[in-house]
């Protein structure tokens, strides 16, 4: 019995780990994704129940209470959250995972300290655990605050931010060395505090439009934090599951960086999107550039009599919650025999796959959603490209102007379509703070307004055709 | 360095490689659910938290462990459920 129970627990962990792997693998394909998520959650259930059997766990009422409390909060949050709030939700959950991992590392370090001796490996891993977990925690909360609109989306930094960061890192390293020489709970608290501050300073200078990268990276870090906590308590399931999440987060981070043609370092440390305020609409020689404006009626005629329409949604659609109106417009056009497709840029919106989630919520079948590489070849055969609240991801400067800050970023080539309608609130530049040449092209028609109202107006006009 | 640490590092490195292999080509449609599902798995820290909060000896440690359990469970339950909600919406 003495060896039976621990082996049973370990064996359950192996089963749980297998379920995590299979679950994540299945999450990679639309047909099996839901099943994959269920398998992973069953794995988690097995792991939690098995751990309750651990003879070291005697604090049942409190532990069960904490599990119940967390589950209820998680349940309510998952039921209540709006699909448009998904980036914030994921950001928040990343942060909580990171915080939990950091707390595990800190508590275990403290326990070893009380027992009299902390082995060097435990100290090193505990330091890493509190560093990664701490950064994930506060970094995620800043990301949450930016996405929720609690603080502005613009990059924020203190004067001399780089020097401050270097100083903090130095302090952190010095504290770590001191801990290795002689473990102390006070120094550990100090370096934990520094980790928390570093998390703030890491994400505050990053602009809202770079959030897809940040969220993916924090996702990865939340996994690595769990791994680090696993090293501290020497538990394989934490190490493996954490590594798995770390890997999946890195994969997404790389995809997002490629979508913007920028390196991770550039995203993290260049405070992109804050510099230029961009007056917009003024040509190099100082003259006002002209653009064509349309109203709902003309727009509806262009769309209604087209053979093919490609909808390009962006963050503006998410902000205005226009996805349902967009779907309605697509339905109206479809009944008139217009072929409607959606073109999704990898970094459209504020998190990986943001547009896909919103359109799915509005019941748009995912077979109508096209990735950048699949749709770009079709624009020259498209009658009307309808850009809704997207800007930088359709800016032809990315291909044509080597001086542009976004030069080299892969874009949706809507400028190749026979006509383009851009729904936008004003001529103001987008996130990157640069003017968009697309708006001044002869084939482009600007339709100003809030995305939801503008699309709704188009719907009623199309109905009257 | 102790052998257990080396063993753990071994496990970590292998798991990372396996992770990269398992999650290679994910269609953009599934980027968000993959992220929130993976995120729920990172709530595995709850296991560590239970082990830490398990013994009754020290109040400070037990409280930290309990807070960690609560946070990790929000992560786990919230993450899996919200992922399911999203995946439910994806239709052909």
- Mean pLDDT, residues A203-222 taken together: 91
On chain A, the residues whose CB falls within 8 A of the CB of B91 are 360, 363, 365-366
**What is the C-alpha to C-alpha distance for residues A151 and A143, in angstroms, rounded to an integer?**
10
Selected catalytic residue, list A54, A383, A392, A442: A392
A444 inside 8 A of chain B by CB: no
User: Domain coordinates of chain B in residue numbers?
Assistant: 3-89
- Smallest Cβ–Cβ distance between B84 and the set A21, A34, A360 belongs to A34
Evaluate if residue A278 carries a pLDDT over 60: no
Beta-strand ranges (E) seen in A269-349 are 292-293, 308-313, 339-344
DSSP string of A157-188, one letter each residue: --TTHHHHHHHHHHHHHHHHHHHHHS--HHHH
- Smallest Cβ–Cβ distance between A106 and the set B11, B56, B64 belongs to B64
Look at B44 and A237 and tell me if their CB atoms are within 8 Å: yes
CB pairs under 8 A between A and B: 383
Look at B71 and A233 and tell me if their CB atoms are within 8 Å: no
Is position A392 annotated as part of the catalytic site? Answer: yes
- Going by the DSSP 8-state scheme, the letter that residue A449 receives in this structure is S
- Mean pLDDT, residues B51-55 taken together: 87
- Mean pLDDT, residues A344-369 taken together: 90
Look at B82 and A56 and tell me if their CB atoms are within 8 Å: no
On chain A, the residues whose CB falls within 8 A of the CB of B19 are 24, 243-248
User: Looking at per-residue confidence, does A43 or A56 come out higher?
Assistant: A43
Supply A448's token pair: 């100003």
**Residue A147 burial (CB count, 10 A):** 24
Evaluate if residue A29 carries a pLDDT over 70: yes
Look at B30 and A27 and tell me if their CB atoms are within 8 Å: yes
- List Cβ neighbours of A61 (8 Å cut-off, separation of 6 or more): none
Beta bridge partners of A424: A448
On chain B, the residues whose CB falls within 8 A of the CB of A357 are 32-33, 86, 89
Evaluate if residue A281 carries a pLDDT over 90: no
Evaluate if residue A324 carries a pLDDT over 70: yes
State how far residue A229 is from chain B, nearest Cα, in angstroms: 7
How confident is the model over A408-438, as pLDDT tens digits? 899 999 999 999 999 998 888 777 778 898 9
Look at B15 and A119 and tell me if their CB atoms are within 8 Å: no
Alpha-carbon dihedral of residues A353, A358, A364, A370, nearest 10 degrees? -30
Provide the mean pLDDT of chain A. Answer: 90
- Residue A136 CA to chain centroid, in angstroms? 14
On chain A, the residues whose CB falls within 8 A of the CB of B60 are 110
- Mean pLDDT, residues A329-350 taken together: 93
State how far residue A156 is from chain B, nearest Cα, in angstroms: 26
On chain B, the residues whose CB falls within 8 A of the CB of A97 are 39, 42-43, 45, 71-72, 75
Cα angle, residue A166 at apex, residues A230 and A197 outer, rounded to 5°: 55
Residue A69: band (very low, low, confident or very high) from pLDDT cuts 50, 70, 90: very high
B59 inside 8 A of chain A by CB: no
Percent with pLDDT over 70 in chain A: 95
How confident is the model over A123-165, as pLDDT tens digits? 999 999 999 999 999 999 999 999 888 887 788 888 888 889 8
- Mean pLDDT, residues A400-413 taken together: 88
Look at A24 and B19 and tell me if their CB atoms are within 8 Å: yes
List the 12-51 stretch of B: residues with Cβ below 8 A of A. Answer: 12, 15-16, 18-20, 22-51
- β-strands A292-293, A308-313 pairing: unpaired
Look at A226 and B45 and tell me if their CB atoms are within 8 Å: yes
Contact B70, A64 (CB under 8 A): no
pTM for the whole structure: 0.89
Contact A73, B74 (CB under 8 A): yes
On chain B, the residues whose CB falls within 8 A of the CB of A257 are none
List the 55-114 stretch of A: residues with Cβ below 8 A of B. Answer: 56-59, 62-63, 65-67, 69-71, 73-75, 77-79, 81, 83, 86, 89-90, 93-94, 96-97, 99-101, 103-104, 106-108, 110-111, 114
Look at A229 and B45 and tell me if their CB atoms are within 8 Å: yes
How confident is the model over A77-128, as pLDDT tens digits? 999 998 888 999 999 999 999 999 999 999 999 999 988 888 888 899 999 9
Q: What is the pLDDT of residue A378?
A: 94
């Amino acid at each position: 019995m003495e060896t039976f129970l621990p082996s049973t627990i370990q064996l359950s962990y192996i089963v749980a780990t297998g379920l995590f792997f299979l679950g994540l693998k299945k999450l990679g394909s639309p047909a099996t994704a839901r099943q994959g998520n269920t398998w992973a959650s069953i794995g988690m259930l097995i792991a939690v129940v098995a751990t309750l059997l651990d003879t070291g766990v005697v604090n049942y009422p409190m532990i069960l209470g904490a599990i119940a409390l967390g589950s209820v909060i998680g349940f309510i949050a998952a039921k209540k959250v709006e699909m448009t709030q998904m980036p914030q939700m994921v950001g928040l959950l990343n942060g909580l995972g990171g915080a939990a991992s950091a707390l595990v590392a800190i508590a275990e370090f403290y326990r070893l300290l009380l027992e009299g001796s902390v082995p060097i490996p435990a100290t090193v891993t505990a330091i890493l655990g509190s560093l990664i977990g701490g950064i994930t925690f506060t970094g995620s909360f800043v990301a949450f605050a930016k996405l929720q609109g609690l603080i502005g989306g613009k990059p924020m930094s203190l004067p001399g931010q780089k020097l401050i960061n270097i100083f903090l890192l130095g302090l952190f390293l010095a504290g770590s060395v001191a801990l290795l020489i002689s473990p102390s709970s006070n120094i550990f608290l100090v370096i934990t505090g520094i980790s928390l501050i570093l998390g703030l300073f890491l994400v505050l200078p990053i602009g809202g439009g770079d959030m897809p990268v940040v969220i993916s990276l924090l996702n990865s870090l939340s996994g690595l934090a769990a791994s680090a906590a696993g090293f501290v308590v020497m538990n394989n399931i934490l190490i493996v599951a954490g590594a798995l999440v770390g890997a999946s987060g890195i994969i997404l981070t790389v995809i997002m960086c490629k979508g913007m043609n920028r390196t991770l370092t550039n995203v993290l440390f260049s405070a992109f999107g804050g510099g230029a305020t961009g007056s917009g609409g003024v040509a190099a020689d100082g003259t006002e550039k002209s653009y064509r404006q349309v109203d709902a009626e003309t727009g509806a005629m262009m769309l209604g009599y087209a053979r093919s329409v490609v909808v390009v949604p962006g963050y503006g659609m998410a902000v205005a919650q226009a996805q349902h109106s967009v779907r309605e417009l697509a339905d109206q056009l479809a009944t008139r025999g217009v072929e409607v497709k959606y073109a999704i840029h990898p970094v459209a919106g504020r998190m990986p796959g943001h547009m896909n989630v919103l359109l799915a919520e509005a019941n748009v079948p995912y077979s109508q959603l096209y990735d950048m590489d699949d749709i770009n070849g079709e624009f020259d055969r498209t009658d009307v490209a309808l850009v809704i609240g997207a800007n930088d991801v359709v800016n032809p400067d990315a291909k044509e102007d080597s001086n542009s800050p976004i030069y080299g970023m892969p874009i949706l080539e809507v400028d190749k379509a026979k006509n383009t309608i851009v729904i936008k609130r004003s001529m103001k530049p987008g996130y990157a703070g640069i003017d968009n040449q697309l708006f001044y092209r002869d084939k482009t028609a600007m339709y100003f307004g809030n995305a939801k109202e503008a699309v709704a107006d188009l719907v009623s006009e199309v109905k009257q055709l | 360095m102790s052998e257990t640490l080396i063993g753990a590092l071994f496990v970590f490195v292998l798991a990372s490689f396996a992770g990269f292999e398992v999650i290679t080509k994910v269609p953009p449609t599934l980027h968000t659910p993959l992220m929130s599902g993976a995120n729920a798995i990172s709530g595995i820290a709850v296991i560590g938290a239970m082990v830490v909060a398990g013994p009754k000896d020290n109040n400070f440690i037990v409280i930290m462990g309990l807070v960690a359990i609560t946070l990790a469970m929000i992560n786990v339950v919230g993450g899996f459920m919200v992922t399911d909600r999203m995946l439910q919406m994806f239709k052909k």
